[in-house]
Structure 1
């Protein structure tokens, strides 16, 4: 098949467009300065976010449940980082950038991980603590109770049949001594525990105990 003369002349007469060459952006190109500005803004914003996140402060907290009357030692404490909305709130706690005061005693129970408030701590020589011995039937005290345990003690007057729960006589107290079960049981047939209790609380407990004809103690582990 032969080509038409008109088609041949049209093809040969077409002019090809000039080739485009890539030109690298120069320092006067506004697009370059826009990119530099975006990078700078990103760096500033990121730095401010990191600075804001680092505004938290290290504060002393208890590592495990601690009862009233417990003397806090280094092993009882841990450090938590906290960001306070009001800087004045930090003054209510103990900053961890200084050692925790030695021989500090809790005046109330504190849960594991809770910050140690200054209002709940007194110096060891300023607190009126009494060690109160308890004799509990073995089936009325959890086997895991040991020195350092935080417990509550219930009293039930078996003669008056007060009920299954009885009276919650001691709340959140710390066991300061727990002789070996075999040694205590061999003498009295009971599990012996010694708890640290503020003087006024100890007196009230003894009065309640004396008011019952046939008191029965039961121990619950707090926390």
Structure 2
């Protein structure tokens, strides 16, 4: 047998279990499989979390019927949201607005006595600005009744009040359509607004794009 035939035979020789190249190849395959399994396991690490079916207004009692369940990956921020595993406690109300399909933060729910602002209904016969939607801020102006069936000059009563809810009323025969705007009012502001309403003041809202309560 010539030298060339000997070299070719050596190259075609079946590798031995003691061949370090075989162990390196097996190790690489194992590492690759392990990496794929770990990646798939991480990608599937989702959590069942509650989300709002519809807009949830401040002060609204929140029950399971108001929520839907979604699967999301939250990682380090999971503790900040209401999960199916942690459950929804009874008697909770919304302390802040939760928009439709938004995940429910734990800090958005609490007891009714924790509310710093309470919703007050303002009936509006006049049209609302198109920006007057839940979550937007408006300035509430009032004009007190004056003499000779007139109203005094309007004055700013509630600057930067947040809208909690807007409900369009039904139109009746011979009557204009009344829209009810729920605005969030602090305990300090409450007597001013309720007093104005009790004295038949004309109430108007103006969109406040800055949201400032100046």
Answer whether contact 1:129 1:196 (CA < 8 A) is retained.
no
**Structure 1's 211 and 169: CA in aligned 2 closer, same or farther, altered over 3 A?**
farther
Cα distance, 1:84–1:173 mapped onto 2, change above 3 Å: same
CA distance in 2, matches of 1:77, 1:43: 37
Alignment match, 2:161? 170
Question: Aligned partners of 1:196 and 1:76: how far apart in 2?
Answer: 23
**If the length of structure 2 is used for normalisation, what is the TM-score?**
0.61
- What is the aligned counterpart of 1:71 among 61, 67, 73? 61
Determine the structure 2 residue equivalent to 1:133. Answer: 121
Report what 1:217 is aligned to: 205
Alignment partners' CA distance in 2, 1:202 and 1:172: 15
TM-score scaled by length of structure 1? 0.59
Q: Is 1:18 equivalent to 2:5 in the alignment?
A: yes
Match status 1:155 vs 2:140: yes
Aligned to 2:95: 107
Offset of residue 63 of structure 1? 5.0
Q: C-alpha offsets along residues 45-73 of structure 1, whole Å, 9 cap, x if unaligned?
A: 34444444555543334355433123334
Q: What does 1:115-130 align with in structure 2 at a 5 Å threshold?
A: 115-123=103-111
Distance 2:191 2:45 in 1: 47
- SS for the counterpart of 1:41 is helix
Matched residue, 1:4: none
Work out the number of aligned pairs and report it: 193
Q: Distance in 2 between matches of 1:17 and 1:107?
A: 86
Gaps of 5+ in 2: 144-151, 209-214
Distance in 2 between the 1:37 and 1:61 partners?
45
Structure 1 residue aligned with 2:147: none
Between the two structures, name the one with larger relative contact order (CA 8 Å, sep ≥ 6): 1
The structure that has the greater radius of gyration is 1
RMSD: 4.5
Please name the residue that 1:191 is paired with: 178
- Residue 77 and residue 194 in structure 1: after superposition, are their counterparts in 2 closer, same or farther (change >3 A)? farther
Residues 1:59 and 2:14 aligned together? no
Structure-2 residue corresponding to 1:96: 84
